[in-house]
């Protein structure tokens, strides 16, 4: 099943080019036409007010993307919550995967930020409205049932706007041109500064958008019991393996390469993939047979590894680095203050 799922992802993301893949993609294109029709009509009904968006009493900042899978959203939600000092916040997620909920909880407990989980995000925010000053939606761009005060779109600078086809033929969740009209800010991920060619493309669709850039900077390796290891203390001669079940594994491998770590084996699974013990033992056996005793994983994958093992499992702990962090935080505070002032004047 994992192989079939990965093959489909490779087809949708234009990596598989064999004759069967091209035939499947043609068939999926017809289904995409139906999907596009539903999305366009749905957005039209929300834009015109025929479908209503619920309002909550606190400012709502939505982080989202145009394509399926992760694009830094959970990490940016953590970044925002940690820097909005003096405010009581909540990060709200539907909870597609336990991995993201666990990552949020582990990262935000010390800051006092609440992690709220539920399909009806207006309802879960309302249940905590007396205890919070703002809410951040993790993956909320297409969740139009809730009115938001700011939509921030995440775009992977390595991929840009290459995705052209809608689900299930491609990875796009909705047509690009119309989507950008709802956006107030774009954060380019895996970038040091906003890439000007992409900024130019997007500005033609919505000239009011503001732009930021963000990337991961490795900080340390962290063991499963919280012990830390300096980056240069881990073997860099190939005596390590890595595992990831995230939407953009190339980014994880790129980050490892940036610190001189070149894994002998890479175990890549689809986003949110649950690894049972038998699969883990296969990974363990392959590593041990080649004298590879260290397995490096992402923070998001940490909750998958609950099995006793002789392998040293290390999480690559990273910091989010933004090109203009103070300006970005000020932008978010401005959204919160605007909502607060409008509520006081109402």
Q: What is the pLDDT of residue 88?
A: 95
Residue 54 lies in a domain: no
pLDDT in tens, 210-226: 999 999 999 999 998 88
Residue 52 lies in a domain: no
- Shared-domain flag, residues 39 and 64: no
Beta strands in 293-339 (DSSP E): 294-297, 312-322
- Shared-domain flag, residues 253 and 202: no
pTM (two decimals) = 0.90
Q: Which helix (H) or strand (E) holds 346?
A: none
- Shared-domain flag, residues 162 and 38: no
- Shared-domain flag, residues 148 and 272: no
Residue 149 lies in a domain: yes
Q: What is the pLDDT of residue 247?
A: 82
The region, left, alpha or beta by phi > 0 then psi within -120 to 50, assigned to residue 89 is beta
- Shared-domain flag, residues 250 and 164: no
- Shared-domain flag, residues 209 and 220: no
Beta strands 210-223 and 312-322: pairing type?
Answer: antiparallel
Task: Let me know if 90 is exposed, middle or buried by CB neighbors in 10 A (0-12, 13-18, 19+).
Answer: buried
DSSP state of 128: T
pLDDT tier at 345 (50, 70, 90 boundaries)?
low
The residue range of the domain holding 14 is 2-47
pLDDT in tens, 87-117: 999 999 987 767 788 888 888 887 889 999 9
CATH number at residue 76: 3.40.50.300
- Shared-domain flag, residues 185 and 333: yes
């Amino acid at each position: 099943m994992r192989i079939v799922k990965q093959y489909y992802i490779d087809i949708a993301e234009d990596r598989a080019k064999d004759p069967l893949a091209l035939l499947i993609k043609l068939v999926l294109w017809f289904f995409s036409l139906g999907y596009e029709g539903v999305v366009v009509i749905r957005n039209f009904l929300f834009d015109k007010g025929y479908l209503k968006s619920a309002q909550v009493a606190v400012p709502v900042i939505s982080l989202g993307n145009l394509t399926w899978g992760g694009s830094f959203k959970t990490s940016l939600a953590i970044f925002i919550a940690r820097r909005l000092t003096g405010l009581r916040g909540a990060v709200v997620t539907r909870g597609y995967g336990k991995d993201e909920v666990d990552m949020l909880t582990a990262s935000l407990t010390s800051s006092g930020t609440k992690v709220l989980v539920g399909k009806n995000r207006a309802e879960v925010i309302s249940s905590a409205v007396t205890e919070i000053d703002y809410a951040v939606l993790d993956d909320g761009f297409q969740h139009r049932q809730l009115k938001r005060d700011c939509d921030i779109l995440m775009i992977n600078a390595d991929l840009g706007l290459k995705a052209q086809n809608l689900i299930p033929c491609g990875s796009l969740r909705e047509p690009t041109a119309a989507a950008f009209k709802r956006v107030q800010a774009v954060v380019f991920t895996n970038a040091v500064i906003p890439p000007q060619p992409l900024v130019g493309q997007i500005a033609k669709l919505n000239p009011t958008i503001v732009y930021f850039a963000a990337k991961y900077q490795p900080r340390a390796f962290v063991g499963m019991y919280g012990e830390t290891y300096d980056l240069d203390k881990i073997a860099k001669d190939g005596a390590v393996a890595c595992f990831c079940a995230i939407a953009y594994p190339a980014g994880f491998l790129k980050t490892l390469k940036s610190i001189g770590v070149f894994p002998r084996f890479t175990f890549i699974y689809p986003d949110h993939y649950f690894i049972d013990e038998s699969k883990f033992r296969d990974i363990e056996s392959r590593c041990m047979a080649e004298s590879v005793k260290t397995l490096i994983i992402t923070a998001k994958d940490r909750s998958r590894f609950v099995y006793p093992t002789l392998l040293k499992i290390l999480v690559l702990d990273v910091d989010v680095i933004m090109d203009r962090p103070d300006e970005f935080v000020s932008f978010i505070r401005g959204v919160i203050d605007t909502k607060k002032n409008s509520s006081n004047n109402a």
